[in-house]
Amino acid sequence: MSPKTKIIFGAAGLFLAAALYFGWQYAGSEPGAPAVVETRQDPEPKPDIQPLAPRPLSPAPATGTATQLTTVEEGDEMIDAILRTDKEIPEMARDLHELVKKLNGEAQVNASQHLVNLTEDENYNLISGFLVDPKMNPDVIEVLFSDLMNRDRALQLPLFMNILKNPEHPQNEEVRNVLTILAGDDFENDYAAWDKWAEEELKSLEE
């Protein structure tokens, strides 16, 4: 290679190096892209959570629906606690009335037996509601009906008529037989005729 050629190549190399240097400087002097500022949005406010309103209590049970399961022994203890109080007999009868509503099975039957023993005709409303209650324990109704058969006729008739008009009552057939004997006739399902007879019978008892 001639000296002239070497000089040309050397000058070209210097020129290329200078171009690269100034190009690098220019590229480094360009302003960078603006930094992205991340904006943080506050979370949407949560709605106020109101406490749930308390559910209404279930209605009270029907007259003849027991509210607790009780053994005979437990029932006897409750009955005995009532009978040992210093309360007057009518008050004890009211307490037994409430106990009959709470108990079940044989314990309820035992309480009903004490109830009829302590209930006078004047307070018979403590018994009558149970006697015509379709949800009452049939064994309790049998105890109450046996007691009713020994009560005053004026007290019996309205309850007899109530039971007569309820074919589903466990004592319906027995009441029909009793009324047929008393009336001397069986009016079958002619309740108007039965009502007329009962009204006349009650009037005769008042004389």
Q: pLDDT, tens digit, for every residue of 73-132?
A: 999 999 999 999 999 999 999 999 999 999 999 999 999 999 999 999 999 999 999 999
Q: Distances from the Cα of 176 to the Cαs of 15, 18, 152, in angstroms?
A: 135, 131, 18
Given this model, what pLDDT does residue 104 score?
94
Q: Are 72 and 106 in contact (CB under 8 A)?
A: yes
- Sequence-separated (6 or more) residues with CB below 8 Å from residue 172: 163, 164, 166
Q: Which of 189, 193, 129 is nearest to 164 (CA)?
A: 189
Q: Give me the residue spans of the domains in the chain.
A: 61-136, 152-207
Given this model, what pLDDT does residue 198 score?
96
Residues 120 and 122: their CA atoms lie apart, in Å, by 5
Burial 147-182 (b: 16+ CB within 10 A, else e): bbeebeeeebbebbbebbeeeebebeeebbebbeee
Given this model, what pLDDT does residue 66 score?
59
In terms of C-beta density within 10 A (0-12 exposed, 13-18 middle, 19 or more buried), how is residue 188 classed? exposed
Given this model, what pLDDT does residue 21 score?
47
**What count of Cα atoms within 13 Å lies in the side-chain half-sphere of residue 79?**
22
Q: Radius of gyration (Cα) for the chain, nearest Å?
A: 49
Indicate the pTM of the whole model: 0.66
Given this model, what pLDDT does residue 5 score?
47
Residues 90 and 122: their CA atoms lie apart, in Å, by 10
Q: Which of 98, 108, 87 is nearest to 61 (CA)?
A: 98
Q: What is the pLDDT along the chain (207 residues), one digit of tens a residue?
A: 555 444 444 444 544 444 444 454 444 444 444 444 444 454 454 444 444 333 333 333 345 455 667 899 999 999 999 999 999 999 999 999 999 999 999 999 999 999 999 999 999 999 999 999 988 999 999 999 999 999 999 999 999 999 999 999 999 999 999 999 999 999 999 999 999 999 999 999 987
Q: What is the DSSP letter of 66?
A: -
